[in-house]
Chain A
Amino acid sequence: MRLTLTVNGRPTSADHVWEGESLLYVLRERLGLPGSKNACEQGECGSCTVRLDGELVCACLVAAGQAEGAEVRTVEGMAGPDGELSPLQAAFVETGAVQCGFCTPGLLLAAEELLARAPHPGDADIREALAGNLCRCTGYENILDAVRLAASRAAQAPTDPNGGPDHDR
């Protein structure tokens, strides 16, 4: 089948998509966007987290057909047009929240969604929001630091709020 959707603000389509293919497979293998990761393909790790019409989803659990006509946001769409990092991306690099980085794209999407709805989250809020995203390397301490840092910077610079969903458009 032919699949038509908008990814990171760009209309795009993929041909010869199989019935059983997931949105994750289409992004990674057909659209050249391997930033969303594939650590379990069972909906249990969050490494494939993307926004589908604004909602956080595990792309591995979304059948490709369900994304027909939808707006998808992936990690590839987070940095600005000239490649400047979003505040969350910058905070992840600065705090050491990235080791192997396989969890990072999913965590960035989930943290971005959190900060968009709760700009001043407490630690318990951050933990709750990121509970679906496994990281095997960091023990999460620096990931918490990164989200706190991005939130505090956003509070100091109210004109550029936390790289929300419209950051790149």
Chain B
Amino acid sequence: MTVEPTAAPAAEPVIERPAARTATAPGVVPPPSGLTQRGDTAPDTSGGVGESTQRPDGVLKVTGEFAYASDLWHRDMLWGHTLRSPHAHAEIRSLDVAEALAVPGVYAVLTHEDLPAATHYGLEFADQPVLAVDRVRYQGEAVALVAADHPETARRAAERVRVEYAPLPVVHDEASATAPDAPVLHPERDDHHAPFVPHPNVVHRQPVTSGDPEGAEALAEVVVRGEYTVGMQDQAFLGPESGLAVPAEDGGIDLYVATQWLHVDQRQLAPVLGLPPERVRLTLGGVGGAFGAREDLSMQAHACLLALRTGRPVKMVYNRQESFVGHVHRHPATLAYEHGATRDGQLVYVKGRIVLDGGAYASSSPAVVGNAASLGVGPYRVPHVAMEALALYTNNPPCGAMRGFGAVQACFAYETQMDRLAAALGMDPVELRQRNALAQGDLMPTGQPVDSPAPVAELLRRVRARPLPPEHPWEAVGAGGEPGVDPRELPGGLANSSQGEGIVRGVGYGVGIKNVGFSEGFDDYSTARVRLAAVAGEPVVTVHTAMAEVGQGGVTVHAQIARTELGVSQVSILPADTSVGSAGSTSASRQTYMTGGAVRNTCLAVRAELLRRGRERLGAAQPGWHEPGLRLRDGAVVTAGGARLASLVEVLGEDAIDLELEFRHRPTQPFDRETGQGFGHVQYSFCAHRAVVDVDVELGLVRVVELAAAQDVGRAINPRAVRGQIHGGSTQGLGLAVLEEILVGPDGTIRNPSFTDYLIPTILDVPPMPVDILELADEHAPYGLRGVGEAPTLSATPAIVAAIRQATGRALARVPVRPEHLTTGP
């Protein structure tokens, strides 16, 4: 359903430098072009691995010139808008777009009837409709699309699409999903988990058993049981879902988009658009944070469909309310645990059952289940284990990837259990953890040996050894030297609810374990293209990958690695796009390991080729070329003894070296469907926290006073960026502890889709966060590094809640903790 465009379609490539977008100079604003950076003191090779170099995109970001996906602009572009379902579960009886099409300024209105090819898509399997067909399964599901010449026109036209819904009963929890007469949400499902699930509304179920958990009960002298709840958290990146789709002359499409994984978007888009993958070209637009929420498609297919239909570039940008239904969330979970131990604090067995609400579509639920099941006992040595994790299909908002998935939910529960066990034993909670701490050489419940450092006890020791922050931080000295109160240091802050009376301090600990990289037999790889050439008499390295820079600093690290490996100061990072091989996802703490590893791997091949050429061209005259241990340093080839053989420019001459290679981590295995046994994970990552809180016990107000972390990162490629990741992850854990929850009613609708009602931590909520970094190399990983980004998100939450428990004496079996949990109930 289209109206003829009134202006001629123009698909000018969006690849130039930004033309100023002023009334007098209309043009295009492209995504970020290449980032060129010199080592801090050219021409030597400082700025390499291990230094806190600055971001190559930092200047663009502080001057406002960095083009985020929502900033892209094309003079002929239309604006796309999505009409979404107000119901969580309903049949679509009829759909009429005539009135919407008649709105002046509207160029196209699309429904499922207009789809040219595949009608469904999905990360792990294609269960989600591009546009709803005859049924909607969650509030916010896309039903129709509009393209118009102004975003407001598109929005108003969408309101004129007539949709007749007949509401259906809503499946909203385990009981309603698995009842004998429960509506089956995907009766046609044929995915690879379908034959094995206990109920068709279970996406995937994974047991993990080791030892003899039933027999072990008799050996336990002390048993603690608990049931826990984790609310639905939102990634709440600041840069909204956005992109610009430009139809190309070859009938294909160029999409500039904020995403986490260009090639998985391409893989899902091509069948939906009915195009061969090579005609679906993606380029990364500037990304304003991700945290998992950009792993699934949002506006990608919709903008492309509108662009192909209208022949015009189409831009889509979600507003915040739409963003809350436009991406998947962290799975809310209910977790039941039983821990058995000897009287002297040795864990004997752990039994656990974790139920994750996957919402209407699968997204990455199976992988979340795998993590929860395999990491469900935490970083502890447990001889007998019976874990089970499963994800449900419900009519709640779809849930998928968020920082630390599966492991975050489990960590809150197992760490609370450890505190309860310590209390039951009359033991110090840190000592109990240390006594049972996982160490290198131990076996995971999956039977996988921990074959690199696992300094769990040491991390706990470090956070505990740190001096405690002073008590009564609100006590201030007035101008005349008289004692006063600074309300900004009190729980409740400037609301001035207390003068310091009724405030109790608490201290709590937590430690967690997260897998790094894609697990369970997934062929996880990344690709890097590296070019070494002489430009104007200087050696220059160009690095091209498809890695999504989402803020984490991958581009910084790539430049560091290239400098270190090739001894070159000047490094250009090309924009990420699909003209180079896949980098895999910016998720699972994997990019420094995987794409950093790929850049290193290709650099090593470039170096080998350079040395081969040098030997060939210059080796006859200079015997030094045949010595072992030649190195590249400061733009030259030097011997192991430091003698300079030739400059890189001399060796290269006019001929650049240009290589593109894939890099893989060691293979993993799927978990056995019955026992969960298998070498499932590439690497483990550990972080410990100590939280100090002040609680106004009468008003239920919490102020986190300090949140200290210790983490083993294997090797800190960029120490400042590592600390930044630990700060950011810890803060999201703090949010889950005391602030953040998407409230979903029993009708499946979101009650708080705004930053007014969904609270992410402000600078007033976040305390000083001292960070202690350990570097114990993992010999399997490039540079010995360990993925960093997710582990700190795990343990911050239980540490803070443990501190609140200590201050209040309350049980607190659910997060986030709200004021009413501290003033009423148990």
Binding site for B on A (CB under 8 A): 12-15, 18, 20, 28-42, 44-45, 47, 74-76, 78-79, 83, 85, 89-90, 92-96, 98-105, 108, 124, 126-128, 130-144
Among all A-B residue pairs, the 4 with the closest Cβ atoms: A35-B64, A32-B21, A100-B551, A101-B61
Chain B, residues 180-223, CB within 8 Å of chain A (1/0): the string is 00000000000000000000000000000000000000000000
Shortest distance from the beta carbon of A114 to any chain B beta carbon, whole Å: 12
- In the complex, what residue of chain B is closest to A39 when comparing beta carbons? B238
Which of B64, B288, B732, B756 has the largest count of A CB atoms less than 10 A from its CB?
B64
Q: Which of B150, B553, B723, B754 contacts A44 (CB 8 A)?
A: B754
Q: Which residues of A contact B762 (CB under 8 A)?
A: 131-134
Q: Which residues of B contact A104 (CB under 8 A)?
A: 61-62
Contact between B489 and A44, CB atoms less than 8 A apart: no
- In the complex, what residue of chain A is closest to B289 when comparing beta carbons? A100
Q: Which residues of A contact B68 (CB under 8 A)?
A: 34, 37, 102
Shortest distance from the beta carbon of B175 to any chain A beta carbon, whole Å: 35
Contact between A127 and B551, CB atoms less than 8 A apart: no
Q: How far is the CA of A126 from the CA of B236 in the complex (A)?
A: 24
Which residues from 23 to 70 on chain B have a C-beta closer than 8 Å to any C-beta of chain A? 23, 25, 29, 52, 54-55, 57-59, 61-68, 70
Contact between B238 and A134, CB atoms less than 8 A apart: yes
B138 touches A (CB below 8 Å) = no
Contact between B63 and A78, CB atoms less than 8 A apart: yes
Q: How far is the CA of A35 from the CA of B60 in the complex (A)?
A: 10
B445 touches A (CB below 8 Å) = no
- In the complex, what residue of chain A is closest to B19 when comparing beta carbons? A32
Contact between A85 and B763, CB atoms less than 8 A apart: no
Shortest distance from the beta carbon of A10 to any chain B beta carbon, whole Å: 10
Contact between A93 and B58, CB atoms less than 8 A apart: yes
Q: Which residues of B contact A30 (CB under 8 A)?
A: 23
Once A37-B288, A140-B731, A141-B768 are accepted as A-B contacts, the answer to whether A131 and B763 lie under 8 Å apart by CB is: yes
Contact between A37 and B486, CB atoms less than 8 A apart: no
Contact between B63 and A100, CB atoms less than 8 A apart: no
Q: How far is the CA of A99 from the CA of B54 in the complex (A)?
A: 11
Contact between A93 and B486, CB atoms less than 8 A apart: no
Once A34-B21, A40-B320, A134-B760 are accepted as A-B contacts, the answer to whether A102 and B289 lie under 8 Å apart by CB is: yes
Shortest distance from the beta carbon of B752 to any chain A beta carbon, whole Å: 12
Shortest distance from the beta carbon of B471 to any chain A beta carbon, whole Å: 17
Q: Which residues of A contact B152 (CB under 8 A)?
A: 18, 20
Q: How far is the CA of A89 from the CA of B728 in the complex (A)?
A: 21
14 A-B pairs whose Cβ atoms sit less than 8 Å apart in the complex: A13-B23, A34-B21, A34-B73, A35-B63, A37-B288, A44-B756, A75-B63, A93-B61, A96-B55, A98-B62, A100-B237, A131-B764, A136-B732, A138-B728
Shortest distance from the beta carbon of A46 to any chain B beta carbon, whole Å: 9
Once A76-B64, A136-B238 are accepted as A-B contacts, the answer to whether A38 and B289 lie under 8 Å apart by CB is: no
Interface of B is mostly: loop
- In the complex, what residue of chain A is closest to B488 when comparing beta carbons? A124
Q: Which residues of B contact A36 (CB under 8 A)?
A: 64
Once A20-B152, A34-B71, A127-B764 are accepted as A-B contacts, the answer to whether A137 and B289 lie under 8 Å apart by CB is: yes
Contact between A137 and B551, CB atoms less than 8 A apart: yes
Contact between B238 and A32, CB atoms less than 8 A apart: no
Q: Which residues of B contact A143 (CB under 8 A)?
A: 763
B319 touches A (CB below 8 Å) = yes
Contact between B488 and A140, CB atoms less than 8 A apart: no
Which residues from 106 to 139 on chain B have a C-beta closer than 8 Å to any C-beta of chain A? none
- In the complex, what residue of chain A is closest to B65 when comparing beta carbons? A35
Contact between B730 and A139, CB atoms less than 8 A apart: yes
Contact between B724 and A99, CB atoms less than 8 A apart: yes
Contact between B59 and A85, CB atoms less than 8 A apart: yes
Q: How far is the CA of A168 from the CA of B21 in the complex (A)?
A: 21
Q: How far is the CA of A57 from the CA of B61 in the complex (A)?
A: 21
Contact between B23 and A14, CB atoms less than 8 A apart: yes
Q: Which residues of B contact A41 (CB under 8 A)?
A: 319-320
Contact between A42 and B63, CB atoms less than 8 A apart: no
Shortest distance from the beta carbon of B19 to any chain A beta carbon, whole Å: 9
Contact between A99 and B551, CB atoms less than 8 A apart: yes
Which of B55, B62, B768 has the largest count of A CB atoms less than 10 A from its CB?
B62
- In the complex, what residue of chain B is closest to A29 when comparing beta carbons? B73
Shortest distance from the beta carbon of A55 to any chain B beta carbon, whole Å: 20
B6 touches A (CB below 8 Å) = no
- In the complex, what residue of chain A is closest to B242 when comparing beta carbons? A38
Contact between B727 and A103, CB atoms less than 8 A apart: no
Shortest distance from the beta carbon of B711 to any chain A beta carbon, whole Å: 14
Q: How far is the CA of A94 from the CA of B489 in the complex (A)?
A: 28
Q: Which residues of B contact A15 (CB under 8 A)?
A: 23
Q: Which of B55, B764, B768 contacts A98 (CB 8 A)?
A: B55
Once A34-B67, A42-B320 are accepted as A-B contacts, the answer to whether A96 and B730 lie under 8 Å apart by CB is: no
Q: How far is the CA of A74 from the CA of B762 in the complex (A)?
A: 22
B550 touches A (CB below 8 Å) = yes
- In the complex, what residue of chain B is closest to A90 when comparing beta carbons? B62
Q: Which residues of B contact A126 (CB under 8 A)?
A: 763
Contact between B238 and A96, CB atoms less than 8 A apart: no
Once A75-B64, A101-B551, A140-B766 are accepted as A-B contacts, the answer to whether A38 and B730 lie under 8 Å apart by CB is: no
Once A79-B63, A108-B62, A124-B489 are accepted as A-B contacts, the answer to whether A136 and B760 lie under 8 Å apart by CB is: yes
Chain B, residues 255-298, CB within 8 Å of chain A (1/0): the string is 00000000000000000000000000000001111010000000
Q: Which residues of B contact A45 (CB under 8 A)?
A: 238, 320, 755
Q: Which residues of A contact B29 (CB under 8 A)?
A: 32, 34
Which residues from 479 to 526 on chain B have a C-beta closer than 8 Å to any C-beta of chain A? 486, 488-489, 494
Contact between B64 and A138, CB atoms less than 8 A apart: no
Contact between B55 and A100, CB atoms less than 8 A apart: no
Once A14-B23, A134-B755 are accepted as A-B contacts, the answer to whether A102 and B238 lie under 8 Å apart by CB is: yes
Q: How far is the CA of A31 from the CA of B25 in the complex (A)?
A: 10
Q: Which residues of A contact B240 (CB under 8 A)?
A: 38-39
Shortest distance from the beta carbon of B689 to any chain A beta carbon, whole Å: 13
- In the complex, what residue of chain B is closest to A106 when comparing beta carbons? B238
Contact between B54 and A93, CB atoms less than 8 A apart: yes
Contact between A38 and B64, CB atoms less than 8 A apart: no
Q: Which residues of A contact B824 (CB under 8 A)?
A: none
Q: Which residues of A contact B723 (CB under 8 A)?
A: 96, 141-142
Chain B, residues 291-312, CB within 8 Å of chain A (1/0): the string is 1000000000000000000000
Contact between B727 and A138, CB atoms less than 8 A apart: yes
Shortest distance from the beta carbon of B468 to any chain A beta carbon, whole Å: 18
> Besides the contacts A74-B64, A127-B488, A141-B723, what 18 more A-B pairs have beta carbons closer than 8 Å?
A33-B64, A37-B238, A40-B755, A42-B756, A44-B320, A78-B64, A89-B62, A96-B52, A99-B551, A101-B58, A102-B238, A108-B62, A128-B488, A128-B764, A139-B761, A140-B763, A142-B724, A144-B763
Contact between B150 and A39, CB atoms less than 8 A apart: no
Q: How far is the CA of A39 from the CA of B568 in the complex (A)?
A: 39
Q: How far is the CA of A141 from the CA of B726 in the complex (A)?
A: 11
B317 touches A (CB below 8 Å) = yes
Q: Which of B287, B486, B756, B769 contacts A124 (CB 8 A)?
A: B486
Q: How far is the CA of A124 from the CA of B473 in the complex (A)?
A: 11
